[in-house]
A and B are shown apart, each in its own frame.
Chain A
């Protein structure tokens, strides 16, 4: 009992901070529901959310119901899921590659998934097949980047990122070919707009399709958080502490890629979230695996939801969310690099 007080006070403070974040997400969600051209008051929203359809009868309420439940809510749910999914996959990549620069976008996963999905869109395949093609594309991209990194065999953080950039460029070129051959009237605008990253066209079924891989993969990563954390120490050390490194690493790559590919298929390429948020979470919540995972997911959700609110209210015409996350993420990350001590990055 002698050691408990300091530690438990520490833990309590961390848990409290997590609760505050969760509260913040709930408030932001409610606020986001009120946002939009059709005015709906907060009371009406709470009414709609808490009561079943029969309770509200007026015609005006019916319109509000449709706007809130069919238009705004799916989009908000998608933003929350995508923010959490991208951030958690970024955290997973960074941990297993021991590389603070790893993220779905920098490893080429986003571009690979975008290529896979755009081919499926070109062929007018069903949503599920678009998802599958995106996943295969993402997996192919990360496999190529890792193989190249291994072949070069330089133990540097930058090499993996460079390999990822090369793979990214390759898949961007392939995407250009897809665009080139796409029907300029129907398919091309769809692919182009979707690639820029947007939540504007999210439907209820999109949100449902998205939730599967993100919830399942997120949960799987969370349950294995301690063992995944050991991989951050390097292959040898992780192995001597009882981890089957190869198997664990493959499983984590599989889960993280599935998760980021799912977000790409629904909302296009949204960069910077997967890179920035894990850093923010580590800096404010430390390395304790449980707290780190939960705070990463919450911060990612809050960030993406806030940026999406901005995207739909900043001007009359919607700004693609991928553009906004880059505009916000890039300078933020630069600031982070400047502030963090050089030693931790070598």
Chain B
């Protein structure tokens, strides 16, 4: 059984609007990572939101571990998929420990509050991600990279087999990008399936993961990164001439740079 099976998924905001997602089909195994690449406005984030059950589908099916998400309650969804949002601007100053602990609410029924076990679990998640030293700090006062790490720790505390990350490395420096990618790889090694959107193909090479190319709401290619991401396919995807940068010590890593006219 696949962790995620999406078949013929379409979505539009309004019947009069053009389709934002058009006949998307993809699937993902347990412990597998998929990077969704595409230009701005291609529908990457919309796909992530559909996968989380936050947007109504127009047609198609989304199955998580064999069950259609239409049959699942919000609480059941929360135990299957965790979400790492692009950036959270909290109106209130939650401390880091509290922020991570909130992930445990997915496993708490009705009016309950976190137990000792939940607190321990959240503490372990913070350790695993390396934000334990930040536990007493206020989320609102953290840097962008620290916030992203805290949100990943929260997703970990949620203990769901699937993690959806919307541009987890957006606006982060190289050091933090590396840290996040390392965590993504570790998550997959522990058997979690990770769906991430990104603007950087080299991250997919780094993770040696599956890649889906998305343009104007359609998937144009899907497969292992080395097969899918070439200078031609990337230039076509982004509608701009790109050069592939490869070689040197990182033999298997390819980055792409725009060619200026």
| Chain A contact residues, CB within 8 Å of chain B | 3, 6-7, 95, 98-100, 157, 223-227, 229-230, 232-234, 236-237, 239-244, 282, 286-290, 343-344, 346
Contacts and interface: CB of A to CB of B under 8 A. Distances in A.
Contacts, number: 88
11 contacts: A3-B123, A7-B119, A225-B113, A227-B105, A232-B91, A236-B85, A239-B54, A240-B52, A244-B73, A287-B94, A344-B92
Contacts of A6: 136
B92 A232 contact: yes
A287 B95 CA distance: 8
A344 B140 CA distance: 7
B220 to A, nearest CB: 27
B48 to A, nearest CB: 10
Contacts of A282: 92-93
Interface stretch (B75-83, B192-200, B203-211): B75-83
Nearest to A343: B140
B93 A241 contact: no
Interface string B63-88: 00000000001110111011101001
Given A232-B92, A343-B140, A242 B74 contact: yes
Interface of B: 49, 52-54, 73-75, 77-79, 81-83, 85, 88-95, 97-98, 102-103, 105-106, 108, 111-114, 119-120, 123, 136, 140, 158
Contact of A244 (B74, B108, B119): B74
A322 B225 CA distance: 67
Given A226-B113, A229-B102, A240 B91 contact: no
Given A3-B123, A241-B158, A287 B49 contact: no
A287 B85 CA distance: 21
Tell me the dominant secondary structure on chain A's binding face. helix
Contacts of B93: 282, 287, 344
A289 B105 CA distance: 13
B92 A287 contact: yes
A69 B50 CA distance: 61
Nearest to B132: A3
B88 A242 contact: no
Contact of A290 (B78, B82, B113): B113
Given A99-B91, A225-B113, A241 B106 contact: yes
B78 A240 contact: yes
A321 B248 CA distance: 77
A49 B97 CA distance: 44
Given A99-B91, A242-B77, A287-B95, A237 B113 contact: no
Contacts of B102: 226, 229-230, 233, 241
A226 B108 contact: yes
Contacts of A99: 91
B114 A226 contact: yes
Given A226-B105, A241-B102, A232 B90 contact: yes
A241 B99 CA distance: 12
Nearest to A222: B111
B155 to A, nearest CB: 9
Nearest to B105: A241
Most buried by B among A7, A232, A241: A241
Contact of A239 (B74, B94, B136): B74
Contacts of A242: 74-75, 77-79, 105-106
B128 to A, nearest CB: 13
A282 B94 CA distance: 10
A282 B95 CA distance: 12
Contacts of B113: 225-226, 289-290
Q: Give the top 5 A-B pairs by smallest Cβ distance, nearest first.
A: A242-B78, A240-B83, A242-B75, A98-B91, A223-B111
Given A3-B123, A230-B105, A234-B88, A240 B77 contact: yes
Contacts of A241: 78, 102-103, 105-106, 158
B33 to A, nearest CB: 19
Contacts of B52: 236, 239-240
